[in-house]
Amino acid sequence: MPEFALGAGFEASTLLNLIASLVAAIAIVWAAWVGLGQFESWAGGGSFLDASLYLARGLVLLLLLLFFIR
């Protein structure tokens, strides 16, 4: 039976890329969720300014997050 070696088969860069990819995927889903929720709020009678500000906030946070995990 082979012994377990710490980090067998994985390099640090591979694990960091995996973590960054998962965080990016979650951030994209979150930004889409915020955008869709604000669009539905606007379609239901909310103000256009509120919808556009929330959507802009979600997109800016997504871009910052993706920039820093790059």
* Structural domain range at position 40: 23-69
Q: Evaluate whether residue 7 is within a structural domain.
A: no
Q: How is residue 24 annotated by DSSP?
A: H
How many domains is the chain partitioned into structurally?
Answer: 1
Q: Where does the pLDDT of residue 14 fall: very low under 50, low under 70, confident under 90, or very high at 90 and above?
A: confident
Is residue 9 in some structural domain? Answer: no
The whole-number pLDDT of residue 21 equals: 84
Please indicate, yes or no, if residue 65 is contained in any of the structural domains.
Answer: yes
**Mean pLDDT score, 45-60:** 79
Per-residue pLDDT, 55:
77
The pLDDT value recorded for residue 8 is 64
Within a domain: 32? yes
Tens-digit pLDDT profile for residues 17-50: 888 888 888 888 887 887 787 777 777 777 778 7
pTM over 0.85: no
Closest CA to 35 of 69, 62, 65: 62
A 10 A CB-CB count for 58 gives: 19
Is 16 a member of any domain? no
Give the residue among 40, 38, 43, 42 at the shortest CA–CA distance from 54.
38
* Residue 1, domain member (yes or no): no
DSSP 39-67: HHHHHTT--HHHHHHHHHHHHHHHHHHHH
Task: Determine, yes or no, domain membership for 17.
Answer: no
